[in-house]
Chain A
Amino acid sequence: MMWLQALILLMVAAGGLGVVVTRDPLNQAVAASFYGILLGLMFFLFHAPDVALSQITVGALALPLMILLALAKIRKREQETQEENRKPEADGQRE
């Protein structure tokens, strides 16, 4: 048990570092989800199954989902502004 606890602590530390060094938000959402599962495992191994369940549902499911939905919304806006910027240029060429 002691070794498992030490191992999961090391994995959580490595996972946290992994989330920080991932720079692209899309990849980071997946990394954060994996980190959430690691944290849930850690809580479970430290005899807190209730917190582990909350951690897995929120950290591995709800949080990455919200990040992905927000990214979808932002990208849609970027697409729209790009299209708007392109239109005047095309008109200018035609003239």
Chain B
Amino acid sequence: MSAGTRIAMFVLSCAAFTALYIAALCGLSPIGQVHGWAAQYGDAINRMSVPALHITDAVTAVNFEFRGFDTLGEEFIMAVSVLGAALLLRKHPDQGSGPPQDKAAGRKISRPGDAVRVLTVGLVGPVTLFGIYIVVHGQLTPGGGFQGGVILASAPLLIYLAGEFGSLQQVAPRWLVEVGEAVGAGGYAVIGAVSLAVGLPFLANYLPPGRVGDLFSGGIVALIDVTVGLEVAGGLLLLLLVFLEEALTRRP
């Protein structure tokens, strides 16, 4: 294909896309104003989440209550993809392993500067606390298990940035991370299974909703939030560990 034909095809498809895009944008309702079925759905969610479920963050109510089964599937997607990465990066029988390369003699990786070390070590505590806050307040304010889990996983990453790989392995040993991820992923399913045991549909709320605005409100949604936070933090951290192990400690 010659350059001229390529440009002609690009101009043609770009013009068609722009026309369709503008036509689609003209059909949208203004920002903040929703009409039709979407408004009905939003109203229904708002009517139910605070009065019936005592959950003030409607997004969390949708994720963990109204479509809790879908979120369970999404959580397992994450667990399986982390499993796949860990499997691909497993130690090959012919490979040796040594001390982390940033510790070995004649290392190429330079030690982080003092400013980086002070900043990262100082941030570990606040970031951990913030992650826990975001996880446990999922049913009250924006955030929840997923977002909080990623924030929690970034705290050990800060330790790696501040020190050496060895300190990361001490703070987050691989077996502990694996157990955390498994407990998080399994906990969600177990919470759902308890619903069946007490004679309700899968993942139906069986705990009292509590007082609106309380930390322990929303029934099982608060519990699911914690398990998802554990699973996401563990999964991301495991991914980080397998990648760093492969890049730093494996010898050909």
Q: Do A and B come from one complex?
A: yes
Give the residue of A5, A49, A58, A69 whose beta carbon is less than 8 angstroms from that of B244: A69
CB of B240 within 8 A of CB of A69, answer yes
Q: Which residues of B have CB within 8 Å of A52?
A: 142
Give the residue of A5, A46, A69 whose beta carbon is less than 8 angstroms from that of B247: A69
A27 to chain B, nearest CB (A): 19
Q: Which range contains the number of A residues in contact with the other chain?
A: 20 to 34
User: In the complex, what distance in Å separates the CA atom of A44 from the CA atom of B120?
Assistant: 27
CB of B246 within 8 A of CB of A73, answer yes
Q: Which residues of B have CB within 8 Å of A14?
A: none
B151 to chain A: closest residue by CB: A57
Q: Given contacts A53-B134, A58-B150, is CB(A65)–CB(B31) below 8 Å?
A: no
Within 8 A of B (CB), among A57-87: 57-58, 61-62, 65-66, 69-70, 72-73, 76, 80
Does chain A have a CB within 8 A of B188? no
Give the residue of B32, B143, B151, B157 whose beta carbon is less than 8 angstroms from that of A50: B143
Q: Which residues of A have CB within 8 Å of B59?
A: 50-51
Does chain B have a CB within 8 A of A23? no
CB of B243 within 8 A of CB of A72, answer yes
Does chain B have a CB within 8 A of A22? no
CB of A53 within 8 A of CB of B246, answer no
Could you write out 17 A-B pairs with CB less than 8 Å apart? A47-B32, A50-B57, A50-B147, A51-B59, A53-B143, A53-B147, A54-B146, A57-B150, A57-B151, A62-B150, A69-B240, A69-B243, A72-B243, A73-B243, A73-B246, A73-B247, A76-B247
